[in-house]
Amino acid sequence: MARRSRPARRTPSVRFEVLEIGRLHGHERVRPALLRELTDQIRKDGYLRRPILVADVDFVILDGHHRVEAVRALGARRIPAYLVDYSSDIVQLGTWPDAVVSVVTKEDVIRRGRTGDLFPPKTSRHTLTIQLEDRPTDLDDLR
């Protein structure tokens, strides 16, 4: 019997929290060169400019895999995040133009985050229909 997916909600549900990195589950791998570049930039700046985006029930990273790994490499145990109701229609899912995988569903993202069967880097592209503000956070506050 096919499992029904939850219907999209019309009321946006987004909240800001500083999360323990250990609670998070990635759904795609990172590019080593991009990770090194971002790690160097955050080290130089001393802060993280933008929170990551996380599915609120499953703690799957939707946007920010490289930021998570960069701050982890810099000794952080926590990271600022927007938690979003992933079933909400404010979350749009597509793929990057050069992605190896051309079709991805929200169910695929959650399943891969739960199982550790990661997509290649830069596969899924999550966008929101609402604007989230940057919230610069000092790296020292994340250790």
Q: Please, what are the domains in the chain?
A: 14-133 (3.90.1530.10)
| pTM, 2 dp | 0.89
Amino acid symbol at 3: R
Task: Say what the pLDDT of residue 13 is.
Answer: 80
Catalytic residue among 28, 37, 69, 107: 28
pLDDT top residue among 7 and 79: 79
11-15, 18-22, 53-57: lowest mean pLDDT where?
A: 11-15
| Closest C-alpha to 54, from 25, 90, 11 | 25
For residue 111, what is the DSSP state? Answer: H
> Across the chain, what does the average pLDDT equal?
92
| Contacts of 8 by beta carbon, 8 Å cutoff, 6+ apart | 87, 88, 89
Q: Is 20 a catalytic residue?
A: no
Task: Say what the pLDDT of residue 108 is.
Answer: 97
Q: What share of the chain is helix, strand, coil (3-state, %, to 5)?
A: 30, 25, 45
CA 139 to CA 103: how far, in whole Å? 36
